């Protein structure tokens, strides 16, 4: 540019547009910085929060050390005697935000046939009928050998205890 010539000047309305554009950019940049979550403190990085629900005495959200196993939390959540953690074994490592549901293993089983008190009984899923002989009060002519190894498999299962052959009920 020659030394005597003045530099071109922007009209005021163009300066206003430039200032508005710079302001908008600064606003969005500051929003982007604000939305970045801060790094959690070290003591929070070493813990997990687990939601426990179902058949336990202490349901709810519990905080445990990272790398805690299911067997390590049983004394805190106190599952009921007939419950198990659905889909987990005792050596399962828990993770932050995980939900653990304890389900009852008791199912209603209808027992009929050669028993003194036919009806519905609560039995542990996976148990054998022979585990409940003291509660069933078998009839004198019950042929328990036919059903003693029968496994309790599902809710509302019906188990019929047959009478020994040659005896009529």
- Segment 49-90, tens digit of pLDDT: 999 999 999 999 999 999 999 999 999 999 998 898 988 889
Verify that 98 and 115 share a domain, yes or no.
no
Distance, in Å, from the CA atom of 125 to the CA atom of 89, rounded to the nearest integer, reads 17
| pLDDT (average), residues 13-23 | 87
Element (H, E) at 121: strand 119-124
**89 in a structural domain:** yes
Verify that 100 and 112 share a domain, yes or no.
no
DSSP state of 92: P
Verify that 114 and 141 share a domain, yes or no.
yes
Residue that is last in its domain, among 87, 104, 121: 104
Q: Of the given ranges (23-37, 72-86, 91-105), which has the lowest mean pLDDT?
A: 23-37
What is the tally of structural domains in the chain? 2
Q: Of the given ranges (35-44, 61-70, 105-114, 155-164), which has the lowest mean pLDDT?
A: 35-44
Domain that holds residue 115: 106-161
Verify that 89 and 59 share a domain, yes or no.
yes
Distance, in Å, from the CA atom of 144 to the CA atom of 164, rounded to the nearest integer, reads 9
Verify that 113 and 72 share a domain, yes or no.
no
Half-sphere exposure of 47 (CA within 13 A, CB side): 11
Distance, in Å, from the CA atom of 36 to the CA atom of 26, rounded to the nearest integer, reads 16
Verify that 84 and 130 share a domain, yes or no.
no
Distance, in Å, from the CA atom of 54 to the CA atom of 99, rounded to the nearest integer, reads 10
Distance, in Å, from the CA atom of 164 to the CA atom of 145, rounded to the nearest integer, reads 10
């Amino acid at each position: 540019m020659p030394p005597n010539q003045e530099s071109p000047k922007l009209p005021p309305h163009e300066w206003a547009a430039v200032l508005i554009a710079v302001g908008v950019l600064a606003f969005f940049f500051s929003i982007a910085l604000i939305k970045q979550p801060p790094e959690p403190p070290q003591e929070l990085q070493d813990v997990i929060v687990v939601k426990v629900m179902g058949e336990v005495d202490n349901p709810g959200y519990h905080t445990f050390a990272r790398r805690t196993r299911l067997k390590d939390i049983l004394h805190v959540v106190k599952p009921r005697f007939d419950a198990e953690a659905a889909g987990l074994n005792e050596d399962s490592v828990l993770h932050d935000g995980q939900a653990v549901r304890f389900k009852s293993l008791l199912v209603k089983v209808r027992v009929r046939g050669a028993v003194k008190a036919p009806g519905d009984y609560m039995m542990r899923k996976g148990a054998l009928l022979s585990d409940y002989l003291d509660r069933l009060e078998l009839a004198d002519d019950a042929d328990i050998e036919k059903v003693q190894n029968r496994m309790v498999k599902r809710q509302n299962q019906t188990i019929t205890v047959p009478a020994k052959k040659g005896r009529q009920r």
